[in-house]
Amino acid sequence: MYSFKFQNPTKIIFGKGMIAELSKEIPRDKKILVTFGGGSVRKNGVYDQVVAALKNHTFVEFWGIEPNPKYETLMQAVELGRKENIDFILAVGGGSVVDGSKFIAAAICYNGEPWDLIQKRIKVEKTIPLGTVITLPATGSEMNCGAVISRKSTMEKLVLSTPLNYPKFSVLDPEVTFSLPKTQVAAGLIDTFIHTMEQYLTYPVDAKLMDRWAEGILQTVVEISPRVMDIRPDYDSMANYMLTATMALNDFIAMGVPQDWATHMIGHEITAFHELTHGYTLAIVFPQLLRVMKDEKREKILQYGARVWGITLGDPDDRIESTILRTEDFFRSLGVKTKLSDYGIGEDTINKIVARFEMRGTVLGENKTITPDKVEKILRLAL
């Protein structure tokens, strides 16, 4: 097991009706910028609950943070927040609204060009404190300090990460997920699954407990999926879905283990060029990445196959391929496609992604062995 440091100060407020707790969690003397996405929270009652909880607070609203939140949009919120002198941000929405709000929180406090915090990786020295009400379980952003931000003008999708951006609190009410479109739920389940994989499916370091906990998330996602995808899901299944999404990316399963993240990095590029939903890109990339990297990942693929899918018999190479097929089947059982061509994406995009990685000198994976030519191989298998 590797040495590590761990600290996650976010408070989780979990359960039915918990949005009302906002009134106690945010100090009365704060001026709040409440950030939203496209407006679904007006239909499912979340907006009304938030406004009711904040009836004794002062707040301004910013609407329109889009999926894969854009620098161009977020800078409008930065302007509003500065003008209104806000000193707390409440993000109400899915991972995109939370990620976007983390950028806003850092950008408001930064005197230079905020994009430099991302692209030039300038250290974030100060942020506005942030709370969240999460409406779409998927990214884990409600309990981590990362954010993925896109820029339209350059077709880039990059990461901002600072410990200052751990939310002070996040409200998780499983009831708000009942009205989600099943396409989004499917993407959220896959995102949760692959977040876990990025921290688990690497090489063994004898981190027995972390392996068990990662497998526990994978097993739970597989087990709850039919109920969660049902047109009338039950509360406990949605509660397990919500909790699992948060626990998959809050460092709880990352203690002392190597991490991969190549599937995400390649997936981000597909989204950057085609606006394809993040979770869908992961379902395309991950199985082929396993095929290309199967020698390096051999032991953990076999362990994953045995413990999550019960694949224990036969030649190891056959078991590896069976495990990958089983994983693809699982994604498809959620109604999600696993090929680039399913979305009309072809060689053109592959060439652009590979060229970009070559230009940046990008090498990916837990061993930094996923060179641009391997990325090309992965994406060609996914055609």
Pair of tokens at residue 38: 């496209």
> Based on CB atoms, which residue is closest to a copy of itself, 139 or 244?
244
- CA dihedral (95, 197, 243, 28) positive or negative: negative
Least separation, in Å, of the C-beta of 224 and a copy of itself?
7
The least distance separating a copy of itself from the CB of residue 239, rounded to whole angstroms, comes to 4
- Whose Cβ is closer to a copy of itself: residue 60's or residue 255's? 255
Please state, as a whole number, how many other Cβ atoms lie within 10 Å of the Cβ of residue 245: 30
Q: Least separation, in Å, of the C-beta of 86 and a copy of itself?
A: 24
Nearest to a copy of itself of 167, 372 (CB atom)? 167
Q: Residue 225 Cβ, how far from a copy of itself at the closest point, in Å?
A: 12
Q: Which is nearer to a copy of itself, 9 or 45 (CB)?
A: 9
Contact predicate 141/95, CB 8 Å: yes
How many angstroms from the chain centroid is the CA of residue 2?
Answer: 24
Give the burial class of 208: count Cβ atoms within 10 A of its Cβ; 0-12 exposed, 13-18 middle, 19 or more buried: exposed
Least distance from C-beta 365 to a copy of itself, angstroms?
23
Interacting residues with a copy of itself (CB under 8 A):
1-18, 205-210, 212-213, 215-217, 219-220, 223-224, 235-237, 239-240, 243-244, 247, 252, 255-256
CB of 174 to a copy of itself, least distance (A): 8
Residues 6+ apart with CB under 8 A from 361: none
For residue 144, which amino acid is it?
N
Q: Output the smallest distance, CB 182 to a copy of itself, in A.
A: 20
| Structural tokens at position 296 | 């390096």
Residue 6 or 56 having the CB closest to a copy of itself:
6
Q: How far apart are CA 62 and CA 47, in angstroms?
A: 12
Beta strand 146-151 pairing with 156-161: antiparallel
Nearer to a copy of itself, 205 or 325 (CB): 205
- Is the Cβ of residue 3 or residue 111 nearer to a copy of itself in the bound state? 3
Cα–Cα distances in Å, from 3 out to 206, 254, 336, 343? 13, 11, 38, 42
* Residue 65: DSSP 8-state: P
Secondary structure element (H or E) that encloses residue 210, with its range: helix 208-229
Residue 117 or 308: which CB sits closer to a copy of itself?
308
| CA 125 to each of CA 107, 109, 115, 128: distance values in angstroms, whole numbers, following the listed order | 11, 8, 15, 11
Q: Is 335 helix (H, G, I), strand (E, B) or coil?
A: coil
Nearest distance, CB of residue 21 and a copy of itself, angstroms: 8
Structure tokens at 134: 């999460």
